[in-house]
């Protein structure tokens, strides 16, 4: 649940994160917990709290962690993920394709 000590920016951030988590299919309680933890960690990293744990300030930021887990970075999806999509699309010759070939084959369709 949002706390009164949060700024308007943090309230907006909380709602945005909560909506995103709900959009992924999580229940309301889980979405609220994830959003509150994320906002509190960002507050600690920005020096907006009186006390903060070492991991909150020294660990990788929540936004960066999410970006690394999104599978949209430089490496993109794994070969296995591409193979699975090729299988779903019934692309012929997929078992002998490498990652780059699978990416091209999927992109053509």
DSSP 78: -
- Spell out the alpha helix ranges (H) of the chain: 8-23, 28-45, 54-58, 62-69, 79-88, 99-108
Q: Degrees (nearest 5) of the Cα angle 42, 13, 77?
A: 80
pTM tops 0.75, yes or no: no
The pLDDT profile of the chain, 109 residues, written as one tens digit per residue, is: 445 578 999 999 999 999 998 998 889 999 999 999 989 888 888 888 888 887 777 777 777 777 666 655 556 788 998 999 999 999 999 999 999 999 899 987 5
- What is the distance between the alpha carbons of residues 22 and 16, in angstroms, rounded to a whole number? 10
CB 98 within 8 A of CB 79: yes
């Amino acid at each position: 649940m949002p706390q009164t000590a949060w700024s308007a920016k943090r309230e907006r951030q909380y709602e945005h994160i909560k909506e995103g988590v709900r959009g992924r299919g999580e229940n309301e309680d889980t979405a609220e917990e994830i959003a509150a933890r994320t906002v509190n960690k960002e507050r600690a990293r920005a020096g907006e709290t009186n006390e903060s744990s070492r991991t909150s300030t020294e660990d990788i930021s929540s936004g960066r962690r999410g970006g690394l887990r999104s599978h949209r970075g430089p490496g993109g999806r794994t070969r296995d993920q591409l193979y699975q999509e090729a299988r779903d699309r019934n692309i012929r010759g997929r078992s002998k394709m490498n990652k780059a070939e699978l990416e091209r084959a999927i992109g053509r369709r």
